Structure 1
Amino acid sequence: MTAEQEEPHVDTLHGRGGNRLLWPDLPHGLRAEIESRLGSSVVAAASRAGGFSPGLASVLRLADGRQVFAKAVSSAPNPVSPGIHRREAAIAAQLPASAPVPKLLWSHDDGDWVVLVFEALTGDSPTLPWVPAERDRVLAALTDLGAAMTPAPPGLDVRPIDVLDEEFSGWRGLLDRPDPRLAEVDPWAAERLADLATWETHWLTAARGETLLHGDIRADNVLLTGDGVYFVDWPAAMVGAAWVDLVLALPSMTMQGAGEPEELLRTHPLARSADKDAITAVIVALAGYFVSKSLQPPPPGIPTVRAFQRAQGLACLRWLRVRGL
């Protein structure tokens, strides 16, 4: 069985890190601080398994009947994770009230542990593998999100998409520092490495724009409620072309059974006015990011993310072949 034919493990399919902290795992003093800020004790906690952060991600039920969604992480499992939570807190606090995102109620930072507390919405992540009705709801919501966030709301302290330029240099890195494992991952990519590296140089010019992008839309960052579609986890927010969120989302959606990315792209309003070569350049850069990352050791505390990245990288490469690269 080739790499392309391998069926992803169920945790890969569902984007689960399997590394969540539970409410009792938090230090006693931190739990006391959270309950003090909430003004009520926690009587139950339901963990949300999707995603890769090695921290708490739970709906907390309080003694007074309220519910909130809480995230908390320290530097112990992964030294980068608290910084990601800090950035999410800063961005979530700035997002307009009309944005389809849960409201940030408050955050806490003691220098190591970072806690974010949001309103708890009644809903669920999309069913995986994707079912057509939910897929279509999310794709339609992406259209609405792009329209609502163009131009980016004024006053937001959010980076331009240029912030990804170093990360989106995977093919050039592999060209400079060859890795024989690339041929095992995808022989076509190994044979076309120089061409892929050339295409990759064009991605940034192609992706610049004036839309506030989520930057990491996948099933575990989507919440379906009775009255709408909400997008959660915004630390990767940036400003770029309106169609970029769609292109970044399609590899994971494809890997999780939503359908062929080219067909979904071709029929989507966000892509209608986008230049074909511009989209190809971004897919190439995204493929290089995922494939090159998948060849690295897993980051501390996040053991399953490399398999998830590899599966998306392979989806990108198949997509590029469909596009005639």
Structure 2
Amino acid sequence: MSVPTNPPATGTRVPWLDVHPRVRAAVGDFLGGRVVDAVTQDGGFSPGAAVRVRADGGRRAFVKAVGPGPNPDSPGIYRTEAAIAAALPASVPAPRLLTTFEVDGWVALVFEEVEGRHPEIPWRRDELDLVLAAVRRMSAELTPAPIDVPAIQERLGDSFSGWRKLLGEDTTGLDPWALRHLDALAALESGWGEAAAGDTLLHSDLRADNLLVSGERVYVVDWPWACRGVSWFDLMAMLPSVAMQGGPPPHELLPDPDPAVTAVLAGLAGYFVRQSRQPSPPGLPTVRGFQHAQGVVALEWLRHRTGWA
């Protein structure tokens, strides 16, 4: 099965000058002066602003801001991210949240600015090794979970039911192997929650666009989906995106034969495959193509692990 051409891991960003003027003024007041420089950052699918800003007094920050449109779910996601970011201990390799604002339906988060960049795509092996080591180290250091977040079954329970949902839906165009084994995939997926249970604080949405490399350090950004689960989940869940963005195939990076990995992978693959068949959410025109590309890799990995003909 061929992997689709690497789709962009970015949505439609809101320019700084289109952010609500009272939000822009509040950011300037917090930084101690008028914002005189604002550079939009690529990466991520949120239909909001993601901007490195500098005030006329020289203070800098990174600002995320989203309004009530075009996606009505985005402000709530930002509120969740703000609550989690404020609770993260210093041991988490994430930029510190400085403050938040809510103005006329807009939600803005102001973080410390990190002098870093997203990993190069296609992946360079040296940067991939640096990131993989950081992810493994983070998982070890965040066990047990240092903050109160939902269990992974609660956070992802509805999402990781893709194969079971497809049993009752139109399957035209579904991958032939998946179609032949749909009943078995649904049964395998049904055990993902028990297999993923654990007490590690997880990011649960790791991809290159949620990582920043700064010298030998790796920062993990965008934590709205944080939850508690098995320690290897973050590593496993990011590997389909690594492969479709030019890195090695997942089975080379996580050869663990544990059946629990296969069950959770079934849930992940079913999520990507089914979601990629849905209409694009409001304001997120590129996310389905990205999910499709991850789904192709995840499905091939699942075929490799199950050994089903």
TM-score normalised to structure 2 length: 0.96
Give the superposition deviation at 1:38.
2.0
Q: In structure 2, which of residues 127, 136, 139 is the aligned counterpart of residue 143 of structure 1?
A: 136
Answering whether residue 277 of structure 2 is matched by residue 295 of structure 1, we say: yes
Could you tell me which amino acid in structure 1 is paired with residue 70 of structure 2?
P
Question: Retained in 1: the 8 A contact 2:3–2:296?
Answer: no
- Note the C-alpha offset of 1:28: 1.9
Is the counterpart of residue 316 in structure 1 residue 298 in structure 2?
A: yes
> Residues 46 and 318 from structure 1, CA distance in 2 versus in 1: closer, same or farther, beyond 3 angstroms?
same
2:219 to 201, 209, 230: 230
Q: Which consecutive unaligned segments of at least 5 residues does structure 2 have?
A: none
Mark the CA change 1:94 to 1:128 in structure 2 (over 3 Å): closer, same or farther. same
- Alpha-carbon distance between aligned partners in 1 of 2:104 and 2:71, rounded to the nearest angstrom: 14
Deviations 1:112-153 (A, max 9, x none): 100000000111100001010000000000111011100001
Answer whether contact 2:3 2:297 (CA < 8 A) is retained. Answer: no
2:55 aligned with 1:62, yes or no? yes
Question: What SS class does the counterpart of residue 60 from structure 1 fall into?
Answer: strand
Alpha carbon RMSD of aligned pairs, Å? 1.3
Task: Give the conservation status (yes or no) of the 8 Å contact 2:84–2:224.
Answer: yes
Is 1:121 aligned with 2:114?
Answer: yes
1:172: Cα distance to partner? 0.3
Please point out which of 157, 160, 171 is paired with 2:151: 160
5+ long unaligned stretches in structure 1? none
Q: For 1:122 and 1:227, locate their aligned partners in 2 and report how far apart those are by CA, in whole Å.
A: 12
CA–CA separation in structure 1 for the residues paired with 2:216 and 2:163: 42
Q: Distance in 2 between matches of 1:141 and 1:112?
A: 36
Partner deviation per Cα, 1:209-251 (whole Å, 9 max, x = no partner): 0100001000000000124111000001000000011111101
Mark the CA change 1:147 to 1:6 in structure 2 (over 3 Å): closer, same or farther: closer
Select which of 213, 220, 231 maps to 1:242.
231
How far 1:111 moved relative to its partner?
5.5
Aligned equivalents of 1:63 and 1:189: distance in 2? 57
1:21 aligned onto 2:14 = yes
1: distance between equivalents of 2:302 and 2:153?
23
Residue 5 of structure 1 aligns to a residue whose secondary structure is: coil
Q: CA deviation at 1:27?
A: 2.1
Cα separation, 2, equivalents of 1:94 and 1:132: 33
Distance 2:79 2:96 in 1: 16
For 2:269 and 2:302, how far apart are their aligned partners in 1? 9
The 10-residue stretch of structure 1 (208-217 or 31-40) with the greater mean CA deviation from structure 2? 31-40
User: For the structure 1 residues 290 and 7, does the alpha-carbon distance in structure 2 shift closer, same or farther, using more than 3 Å as the test?
Assistant: closer
Match in the other structure for 2:177: 188
Instruction: Summarize deviations over 1:162-189 as a string: whole Å, max 9, x none.
Output: 121111000000012232132xxx1111
Instruction: Tell which deviates more after alignment, 275-284 or 289-298.
Output: 275-284
Q: Structure 1 length as normaliser, TM-score?
A: 0.91
- Please report how far the alpha carbon of residue 6 of structure 1 lies from its aligned counterpart in structure 2 after TM superposition: 6.0
Q: 1:227 to 1:6 in 2, by over 3 A?
A: closer
AA aligned to 1:5 is: S
- Alignment of 1:30 onto 2:23: yes
User: 1: distance between equivalents of 2:25 and 2:88?
Assistant: 29
Q: Secondary structure at the match of 1:93?
A: helix
Q: Deviations over 1:238-268 (max 9, x none)?
A: 00000011111101111101111000112xx
- Tell me how far apart the structure 1 counterparts of residues 103 and 19 of structure 2 sit (CA, whole Å): 14
The percentage of counterpart residues that share the same residue type is 51
